[in-house]
Amino acid sequence: MVHCAKDYPYILDGYDFSGRQIILLTTSGDSVFGKTKEDLKANISKQAVVLEYRLLNGIQTKESMTAWVDGL
């Protein structure tokens, strides 16, 4: 797992994400993803899959988290 906020294009340089899933998530409702998914896809392997983000702020139940993980 990489936590990289706004600096991700530089932190991720040199990694091969071919065939990988990248899961965007935040633990704060104050976080704004904006164009993060599009920007990230432009800076990594075209064979990587970037999934939509998920807010993980402690409100989720065990069942909802299990369902989310099982659906990945």
pLDDT band at 63 (very low <50, low <70, confident <90, very high): very high
The C-alpha atoms of residue 38 and residue 66 are separated, in whole angstroms, by 27
Residue-wise pLDDT tens digits, 2-44: 445 555 555 677 788 888 888 887 777 665 667 777 777 777 8
pTM score, whole prediction: 0.62
Cβ-based neighbours of 12, under 8 Å, separated by 6 or more: 2, 4, 40, 43, 44
Q: Is the pLDDT reported for residue 49 higher than 60?
A: yes
Mean pLDDT (whole number) for 31-59: 77
